[in-house]
């Protein structure tokens, strides 16, 4: 696995928009996020097509991919931060230059729809990528918690995955494996096809946005994963945030799907996903779940160097 270099105060962060368009109030939010990041001592460079709306519902797939490729190619850019989520970041896959990315490894991060890009880049390039807050949410979050978590991970090389009290055990056991995952609906889309990812011996982490994905649809996604052997392959499962008006939990839906058929450990936390306070989870880094220990899950190696 390729580990990206750490971020240093004074470095330049490139901002790209591979998912939803940056229009309307999003523009002001992006500018406020830029100000907050610069106040921390970093430089910020916007990609050429960051504010493009060439299709009328966003920028084209090639514009998005060109921006990502450019940010990887430019030596002065030390980190790539995805601006926001949306619904179509998978459109970039065929236009990304995976050889270029492998030759110029650096931090790339985001969450929600960005799940597709971070997992596919990890799969194709063996580069550790990151599930983290998006650039825009630096401005829209009520606190700086998620931004500070990114600083801890990328600048201070912290490998902590939150506080022990953040976790509860749903099924006991011990598991090791590289982390993969993010938003459930996007992970479901990477189970089969040209850009499928490898779930063998992985610790899978999943979360979902209840506002868009009700229990029936989450059930659908998880059953599709079950029917295609995902739960036969993984070594452990880590369930994150899910809020729905029904008060049905994601862990309930998971157990409705998998029952007691599988032997891997399952843990639960509310510290990643569509939630205000998000930790940063490295994709492709070796981790260990041990439900008998205080921490429940730990990273076994550095994710930046």
Chain segment 230-260, per-residue pLDDT in tens: 999 999 999 999 999 999 999 999 999 999 9
Model confidence at 303, pLDDT cuts 50, 70, 90, reads very high
Percent of the chain with pLDDT over 90: 99
pLDDT of residue 124: 98
Mention every residue, 6+ apart, whose C-beta is less than 8 A from residue 105. Answer: 2, 3, 4, 5, 125, 127
Within 8 A by CB and 6+ apart from 34, the residues are: 15, 44, 46
For 183-193, write each residue's pLDDT tens digit: 999 999 999 99
How far apart are the C-alpha atoms of 59 and 54, rounded to whole Å? 5
- Model confidence at 285, pLDDT cuts 50, 70, 90, reads very high
pTM of the model: 0.97
Average pLDDT over residues 61-77: 98
**Which pLDDT band holds residue 148 (cuts at 50, 70, 90)?**
very high
| pLDDT interval class at 51 (50, 70, 90) | very high
Pick from 85, 116, 83: nearest CA to 188: 116
pLDDT band at 288 (very low <50, low <70, confident <90, very high): very high
CB 78 within 8 A of CB 7: yes
Instruction: Report the C-alpha gap between 95 and 56 in whole angstroms.
Output: 20
Is residue 42 within 8 Å of 12, Cβ to Cβ?
A: yes
Provide the pLDDT confidence category of residue 150 given band limits of 50, 70 and 90.
very high
Instruction: Count other Cβ atoms within 10 Å, centred on residue 129.
Output: 31
Instruction: Output the DSSP codes for 234-259.
Output: -SEEEE-----TT---HHHHHHHHHT
Model pLDDT, residue 89: 97
Domains of the chain (ranges; CATH) run 12-154 (3.40.50.10740), 164-299 (3.50.30.60)
Cβ atoms of residues 22 and 84 within 8 Å: yes
Q: To the nearest whole number, what is the mean pLDDT of the chain?
A: 97
Q: How far apart are CA 84 and CA 100, in angstroms?
A: 24
pLDDT in tens, 8-28: 999 999 999 999 999 999 999
Given a contact cutoff of 8 angstroms between Cβ atoms, the answer to whether 2 and 125 are in contact is yes
Confidence of residue 125 (pLDDT cuts 50, 70, 90): very high
pLDDT of residue 63: 98
Q: Cα–Cα distance between 237 and 204 in angstroms, integer?
A: 5
Tally of CB atoms within 10 A around 112: 28
Q: Over the stretch 133-146, which tens digit does the pLDDT of each residue have?
A: 999 999 999 999 99
Cα–Cα distance for residue pair 34/47, rounded to 1 Å: 13
Pairing state of beta strands 266-269 and 167-171? Answer: antiparallel
**pLDDT at position 101:** 98
Contact 244, 214 (CB under 8 A): yes
For 267, the 3-state DSSP assignment is strand
Contacts of residue 1, Cβ cutoff 8 Å, sequence gap at least 6: 126, 127, 128, 178, 284, 285
Mind listing the pLDDT tens digit for each residue in 164-173? Answer: 999 999 999 9
């Amino acid at each position: 696995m390729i580990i990206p270099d750490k971020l240093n105060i004074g470095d330049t962060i490139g901002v790209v928009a591979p998912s939803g368009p940056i229009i309307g109030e999003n523009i002001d939010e992006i500018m406020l996020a830029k100000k907050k990041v610069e106040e921390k001592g970093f430089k910020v460079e916007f990609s050429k097509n960051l504010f493009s709306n060439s299709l009328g519902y966003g920028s084209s797939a090639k514009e998005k991919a060109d921006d990502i490729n450019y940010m990887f190619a430019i030596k002065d850019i030390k980190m790539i931060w995805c601006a926001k989520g949306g619904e179509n970041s998978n459109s970039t896959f065929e236009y990304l230059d995976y050889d270029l990315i492998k030759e110029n490894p650096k931090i790339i991060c985001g969450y929600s729809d960005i799940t597709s890009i971070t997992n596919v880049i990890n799969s194709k390039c063996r580069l550790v990528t990151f599930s983290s807050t998006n650039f825009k949410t630096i401005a829209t979050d009520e606190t700086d918690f998620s931004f500070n978590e990114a600083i801890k991970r990328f600048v201070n090389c912290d490998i902590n995955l939150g506080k022990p009290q953040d976790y509860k055990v749903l099924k006991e056991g011990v598991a090791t494996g590289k982390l993969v995952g993010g938003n459930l609906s996007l992970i479901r889309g990477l189970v089969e096809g040209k850009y499928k990812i490898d779930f063998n011996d992985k610790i899978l982490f999943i979360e979902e946005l209840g506002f868009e994905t009700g229990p029936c649809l989450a059930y659908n996604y998880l059953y599709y994963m079950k029917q295609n052997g995902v739960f036969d392959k993984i070594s452990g499962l880590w369930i994150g945030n899910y809020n729905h008006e029904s008060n049905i939990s994601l862990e309930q839906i998971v157990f409705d799907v998998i029952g007691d058929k599988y032997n891997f450990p399952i843990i639960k936390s509310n510290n990643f996903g569509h939630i205000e306070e998000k930790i940063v989870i490295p994709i492709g880094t070796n981790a260990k779940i041990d439900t008998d220990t205080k921490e429940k899950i730990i990273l076994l190696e550095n994710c930046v160097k």
